[in-house]
Amino acid sequence: MINYPAGADQQNQTTPAPTTFWTRNALFGSWDGMKPTLSDNGITIGFNEQAVTSNVLGGGARQGDEFAALLTPSARVDLGRYTGIPGLAAYVSAWVVQGHGPTAFNVHSLSGLAYVEAPDGARLADAYLTWHAPHDAIHVKVGKFGIDENFDQNPAAATLLNSNFTYRDIMANNLPGGGPAYSYEGPGAMLGVQATKLLRLRIGLFSGDPLGRPLEGPQPPARDAGGLAFPLDTGALFIAEADDAYRMPGLGNGTLRVGGLYDTLSRPDLLFSITGQSLAASSPGPARPDRGEYVIYAGDTQTLWHGLDTRRLRGFARLAYAPPAQNAITLDVQAGLVLDAPLVDRPDDTAALAISYDRISTRKIDFVRSENAITGSALPIPASETDVELDYNAELAPWLIATPDMQYIVRPGGGIADPTTPSRREPNVFAAQLQLTLTF
């Protein structure tokens, strides 16, 4: 914030107060003047780090501490000043993932306890051209990017760490290659149109599998480990969405989102082989390929109460469905409450409480039942996973945000077997986390 000292406006000019370590926008300030110089030439650079310390306090496969972090260097170039085309820009970024979180090692939940969790290493993230018409009437984007940053947005849940509230499990767990999203985005194009003052329409076309074709061999190397592949021969993913802004009398502003996607690639059936046998039978043959991979979704964000200045209470609700034949998750339901400025003297803080429910496909359930009947085993029957999250987002400085977080996972993985006792479900999980977000 800029403060204006008394007596400084003698010539209709204002002099900003000098910034201190705790009031500067970035940890390293202006980088000895390099950032302003680049900005004067239409180049904006950024370095952000999200570091998450997690502790599984109870339940899961095992308890203990884990650490995961994500460094995101980025650069945006205003091409309009060089080409004479206003609104044209180029953007490129990378992801440097460090460590690993508890999800894959301790918890085995459908949702990532922290969105930054991903295979460690460095990879290309975004690389695209974008153009905005005046007043944002038209928006075009072409290159490598993700559907998670352009479609099915949930801005009210921006401070929540659980990945399901940012990029739904019903997409991340079902789509080929996880769909074009963090941490492997794909080549694509998007067109957005502000059809009316309140209605926005967007359509997108992406590669059907952002990782490219599966690699052969008993131990195939990681597909597109560096994020440098731009696969254009792996089918296509179509997505479309409509956003309607409205105002509820007596409450406040709201946004309703409705959309759907379709992937042309076939997916293996969860129960039947190409011969029609149950995959739980002995020598059933390969799984039957099923086409018709789609997800339909809707979401609503509504201001429920507005106090003084930035204080407000927002609520969100989201719903998504996918067909059961080839998808492990067929229904995703979410809801949450977000309180901005929960403390009067901390206007930039946020508190959030949210819950999500993922229902397991009936085909997957029937497969486990058939396997138990054929083999005589007693594996637990999967059903659903429910995640509850509570967090507080505290801005300690413009360059430092701390987010203490607690999560409770009911039936991790939808009710998978406990590794130590396969006849029972893995116990419910209670985990505590702390995320630090730094802007360099």
Q: What are phi and psi of 44, to 5 degrees?
A: -115, 125
Rounded to whole angstroms, how far apart are CA atoms 129 and 314?
33
Q: Is the peptide bond before 384 cis (omega within 30 degrees of 0)?
A: no
DSSP strands (E only) in 307-383: 312-321, 329-340, 350-360
pLDDT along the chain (440 residues), means of 10: 35 58 92 94 96 96 95 97 96 96 94 94 96 95 95 93 96 94 94 96 96 61 77 93 92 94 93 89 88 95 91 96 95 98 93 98 94 89 97 96 98 93 93 97
Rounded to whole angstroms, how far apart are CA atoms 247 and 254?
6
Q: What are phi and psi of 366, to 5 degrees?
A: -65, -35
Longest dimension (CA), the chain: 89
Q: Are 432 and 406 in contact (CB under 8 A)?
A: yes
> Residue 380: how many CB atoms within 10 A of its CB?
19
DSSP state of 105: I
> Residue 286: how many CB atoms within 10 A of its CB?
11
What tens digit of pLDDT does each residue of 368-411 get? 999 899 888 889 999 999 999 999 999 999 999 999 999 999 99
**Given phi > 0 = left and psi -120 to 50 = alpha, else beta, which region is 74?**
beta
Rounded to whole angstroms, how far apart are CA atoms 435 and 309?
27
* 411: enclosing H helix or E strand: none
**How many CA atoms, within 13 angstroms, populate the side-chain half-sphere of residue 139?**
14
Ordered domains of the chain (ranges, CATH): 43-213+226-439 (2.40.160.180)
Spatial CA neighbour of 157 closest among 320, 357, 336, 300? 336
Rounded to whole angstroms, how far apart are CA atoms 177 and 235?
12
Place of tokens 């390099």: 34
**How many CA atoms, within 13 angstroms, populate the side-chain half-sphere of residue 33?**
0
pLDDT at 214: 66
Indicate the pTM of the whole model.
0.90
What tens digit of pLDDT does each residue of 259-305 get? 999 999 999 999 999 988 888 888 888 999 999 899 999 999 999 99
pLDDT at 217: 47
Instruction: Dump the DSSP string for 232-298.
Output: -SS-EEEEEEEEEEEE-TTS-EEEEEEEEEEE-S-EEEEEEETTS-BTTSSS--SEEEE--EEEEEE
Q: Is the peptide bond before 356 cis (omega within 30 degrees of 0)?
A: no
